[in-house]
Structure 1
Amino acid sequence: MRTTGRSKSRPALVVLTTLALAAAVVVADVPNAPPAHAAPFVEAVENVGADCTFPSLPAAASNSRLPDPFRRADGTRITTKADWRCQREQTKRLMEQYVYGQKPAKPASVSGSVTSSRITVNVSQNGRSTSFSANVSLPSGTGPFPAVVVYGGFGADTATIRSSGAAVISFDPYAVGKEGTGRANKQGAFYDIYGSNSQTGLLMAWAWGVSRIIDVIETSGGSILKADATGVTGCSRFGKGAIVAGAFDQRIALTMPIESGTAGVPIFRGIAGEGAQSLSSAYGEQPWFGDAFGSYTGNPNNLPVDTHQLVGLVAPRGLFIMDNPHIANLGPRSASVAALGGAEIYKALGAGGNITYWSDVADGSHCANRSEWRTPLQQNIQKFLLGSGSSQGQMRISSRAAGSLSQWADWTTPVLTDGPTPTPTATATATPTVTPTPTPTVTPTATPTATPTVTPTPTPTPTPTSAPGGCTATVSLNSWNGGFVATIKVTAGSSALNGWTTTVTLPGGAAVTNAWSSVNSGTNGTVRFANAPWNGSVGAGQSTEFGFQGTGNGQGLTATCA
């Protein structure tokens, strides 16, 4: 069932009722879309609210509900669309302070070049300099072209991007912020400028790198690539990077994170309840988060922000979130809540049609190119990068992992007026109505339940095993009926590792279907996983992680490292 139009007075909280049928999908058009000619809503500068000042910012305080994205530090709520500029800046600064670390402003000197095959970036600041580059692949036709920055070549289908008329910029985030390093010894182009002990995490460092690419495109003359029509995408850890990049640079017209998991789209307050990767695991796996987030991995309720506000930082620009309801470790239920909460910000700004969340997919493989996403990908590129489409955003939430915003939010969405005069009281407006098929049931106190076939079962106490060679392998498991995801931490002993191999013995009937951050040999029985090109070097006492998805029952699998 689809809903359109505007309700004059409805609660702003979305309530989802999950059907028992695994195939059921929540589908809703998001109302209040602006006319097509208003897209892509990009700004001329990286951050339009940089001049906003605040007597104080909201302090950390225990709150099990999602913070009100429309509330100022003094307790008042914004009332006009113009108010959003500084309200957005307040949220941005909170995200920097508590979650990702500071994103510095544009450095004193950014230069480089753009050709039909490559972008070079040179940066200087305070006597320090660095450089990095990215490959370019143009579509057919005559430029200048819009472009999508693809993290690590691992994001939305690049063939579809190019056939839709946009160039692909292959961005190596590890050149800007390297994984596998300690927090006091961060490496890469960002840390060349701001120091190896910077408290800014990798996700924000990668976002800084994307912004510097846009800087160079802006000064390149515009004969090859358009500076005001840039998108960004990535999957898994690169999906985390994509949503952060889009949130912190208002020149990005279209943001497309895929299966981002913890530290990406899913709400921090919800992931523990669905067996997703824990905050402490994500914080320790790699320095993705800023250093300050370590104080909140065990108590996210104390954070004055959550990721529905990260989603809102992208508003009103184009946002297409792609998710996987089949892997609980990715936190898809919590991601749907973040998307629904962020959609309220879009709606308040009159841009509800500019956000899409899509977890209605049949294939559970991690980071697969899915046929279900091809058409909306084309539509988003047309609308936000080419300016030739008018498709409306949708909430296509699989009932396998359907979250309820009303369970997490106790605030309503104000009607933000166009004029500068504030109104005394905020009034709720229409919510993107999310109606499961075939029985449209909306119950204010409903709590979604998982389908019988998908029950995340995290293994609470992983057991490390070791082998000669000075390293250990620790296994963590998330299982459901018929499948599982294994995350394996490889930790070096007293000596550094220069390459490693982990041998995994699978239970009978179990098989590997997909692996990441490793190169596997075999799919069942005894399977060997070697390091990927970027995570073979592990310092003494340091760790790196890889993972794989499997079919069957993964309980009892063992791993040794050499």
Structure 2
Amino acid sequence: MVITSGRSRIRSTVVALAVTALTAAAAVTAVATTTAARAADGPAAASVEDEGADCPVSLPGSLAANPRLPDPFRKLDGTRIATTSDWRCRRAEIRELAERYVYGEKPAKPATVTGTVSRSTVTVNVTHNGRNASFSAGVSLPSGNGPFPVVVVLGGFGADTTTIRSAGAAVVTYDPLAVGREGTPRSNKQGAFYSLYGSSSSTGLLLAWAWGVSRIIDVIEQSGGDILRGDATGVTGCSRYGKGAFVTGAFDQRIALTMPIESGSAGAPIYRGLPGESGAQPLSSAYGEQPWLGDAFGAFTGSPNTLPVDTHQIVAMVAPRGLFVMDNPHIAWLAPRSSSVAALGGAEVYRALGAGDNLTYWSDVQDGNHCAVRPEWRTPLQQHIQKFLSKTANTPGTIRISSRAAGNLSEWRDWQTPTLTDGPTTPPTTPPTTPPTTPPTTPPTTPPAGDGCSASVSVNQWTGGFVATVRVTAGASPVTGWTVTALLPSGAGVTNAWNATGSGTTGTVRFTNVAYNGSLAPGQSTEFGFQGTGTGTAMTATCAAR
């Protein structure tokens, strides 16, 4: 049984016609796959809010439990995408799942959106189905003549607005509570969004806030571009507003740069990881604290394994656009370990689309204060604005995970990352038996272990760094302890490790089991991981049993 989404019946005619008019070439451009193309044209956002509005989506009628992260490349019909152009409609499926089960529905652009843009204020006036709503946002311009790229700051705290302006972008300070008020019951939600769509709407605050940012972009686009540029928009916010920024960037493809800060539960961290992450805010708490999530999510607070979607796929919804996730590893309540897993999982989609350089995840910070303005993020923040908004640079993204809260993607997935082609949507004549996790690295095979143990290494490589997953397999006899020796390529270095105790950081390094994974039955395997700088794709490893 399938349930066909009613989205096509409620989307406005204007949006439907705009999407239909998109050419196939434009769709492919949105998932450009070569670094050369990105460097020449700049990493591009879409020209419309939702490129996949015309994709037919049939949601499942029943849900099956799955403790692993859902395969972002597997379509609802059970097949996997084969080309970069397939991603447009696969993303639409993820969007529908996220709306149905997590956030509630984000309505299409209302019938009428008007407003003004001045050097100090953006005003928004919306009319839909005979109802009216209005709100405004403040504007703070950088030096210069403009027109200026825009970073919408949700909530007005936690974002480094000084650095944003010094990088040449205007700051638009948006009060999400004017659009979706906190402190209200789910049956009587308040704010501009609910004035239009009803106080009993099942849509949660996060997607209502995202809808508000989209309407600000509408007004900027219509303003003529004398002060603010509608084609160069970023969004950021911290804590609850980090949750909002994360969702906003995922659901509006016009946003070129999404920068959530310390978003915590209901933000970036994978839902499946929260019950097992010590000290993390439980899903029941995040759902009950405020109506951030959609009403339907209440059925999953105690059973996230039955969700057909998780936040690594929300990360993927941003791809191939710019994403800079900033996290705090010092506060367990924020679930930073689960957040790093979401970033690593979403990064697989970025890499498959040839856009791995467009994602940065950074939790390696010293200051543990919540929503502090951190010196570690200042330079990458400038670089991201220059790359994605002003398009004056092309600095590659990076992944810097703190050893205090390092997640291990291999523990959460049972799928591999395909090599997507740029051709028609037909699979290759001879698909590989096991697609590589990170092209061009060939997945390792585990050699026979004999009476001792063996080690195989798979590497997720990005520009300037990597994460290595090492599988240790016992031979014909039981193993009571093991040591893996790895020879790092020249210039590579280890920054942190998990599920093992490391010795050495360059050249020949050694990893020894920890208390809970040293004993292996014959043929049994366990995994550990480590993060490094440089290139790890030519690494070799051997195992010695004790």
Q: Considering the TM-score relative to the shorter chain, is it more than 0.5?
A: yes
Within the candidate set 113, 120, 124, 1:121 is matched to 124
Q: TM-score, normalised by structure 2?
A: 0.74
Residue segments in structure 1 that go unaligned for 5+ positions in a row? 1-30, 452-562
Letter in 2 for 1:80: T
Using CA pairs below 8 Å that are at least 6 residues apart, which structure has the higher relative contact order? 1
State the partner residue of 2:426: 422
Instruction: Rate the CA distance shift 1:71–1:224 in 2: closer, same or farther, 3 A.
Output: same
Matching of residue 432 in structure 1 with residue 440 in structure 2: no
State the partner residue of 2:498: 448
Alpha-carbon separation, structure 1, partners of 2:130 and 2:331: 46
CA contact (8 A) 2:138 2:174 kept: yes
Count of matched residue pairs: 421
Instruction: Rate the CA distance shift 1:300–1:257 in 2: closer, same or farther, 3 A.
Output: same
The Cα of 1:61 is off from its aligned counterpart by 1.2
Identity within the alignment, %: 67
Instruction: Rate the CA distance shift 1:146–1:40 in 2: closer, same or farther, 3 A.
Output: same
Within the candidate set 202, 206, 209, 2:209 is matched to 206
Matching of residue 257 in structure 1 with residue 260 in structure 2: yes
CA contact (8 A) 1:155 1:257 kept: no
Matching of residue 75 in structure 1 with residue 78 in structure 2: yes
Matching of residue 387 in structure 1 with residue 415 in structure 2: no
Alpha-carbon separation, structure 2, partners of 1:259 and 1:405: 20
Matching of residue 325 in structure 1 with residue 325 in structure 2: no
State the partner residue of 1:90: 93
The Cα of 1:271 is off from its aligned counterpart by 1.3
The Cα of 1:272 is off from its aligned counterpart by 1.6
Within the candidate set 244, 252, 255, 1:241 is matched to 244
CA contact (8 A) 1:33 1:392 kept: no
Alpha-carbon separation, structure 2, partners of 1:206 and 1:328: 26
Q: Secondary structure at the match of 1:102?
A: coil
State the partner residue of 2:411: 407
Q: TM-score, normalised by structure 1?
A: 0.72
CA contact (8 A) 1:401 1:450 kept: no
Instruction: Rate the CA distance shift 1:58–1:228 in 2: closer, same or farther, 3 A.
Output: farther
Instruction: Rate the CA distance shift 1:418–1:299 in 2: closer, same or farther, 3 A.
Output: same
The Cα of 1:74 is off from its aligned counterpart by 1.4
Alpha-carbon separation, structure 2, partners of 1:435 and 1:50: 33
Instruction: Rate the CA distance shift 1:434–1:400 in 2: closer, same or farther, 3 A.
Output: farther
Within the candidate set 368, 371, 389, 2:372 is matched to 368
Alpha-carbon separation, structure 2, partners of 1:207 and 1:74: 29
Matching of residue 103 in structure 1 with residue 106 in structure 2: yes
Alpha-carbon separation, structure 2, partners of 1:315 and 1:410: 21
RMSD: 2.2
Alpha-carbon separation, structure 2, partners of 1:387 and 1:58: 44
CA contact (8 A) 1:32 1:353 kept: no
Within the candidate set 210, 222, 225, 1:222 is matched to 225
CA contact (8 A) 1:100 1:290 kept: yes
Letter in 2 for 1:416: L
Deviates more, 1:424-433 or 1:350-359: 424-433
Letter in 2 for 1:320: F
Within the candidate set 64, 69, 79, 1:66 is matched to 69
State the partner residue of 1:541: none
The Cα of 1:428 is off from its aligned counterpart by 2.1
State the partner residue of 2:29: none
1:409-431 per-position Cα deviation (integer Å, ceiling 9, x unaligned):
11011111111142253622416
State the partner residue of 1:292: 296
The Cα of 1:440 is off from its aligned counterpart by 8.9
Alpha-carbon separation, structure 1, partners of 2:61 and 2:143: 49
Superposition map of 1:267-346 within 5 A: 267-275=270-278, 276-346=280-350
1:83-138 per-position Cα deviation (integer Å, ceiling 9, x unaligned):
00000000000000000000000000000000000000000000100000000000
1:255-295 per-position Cα deviation (integer Å, ceiling 9, x unaligned):
00000000000000001211210000000000000000000
Alpha-carbon separation, structure 2, partners of 1:62 and 1:235: 32
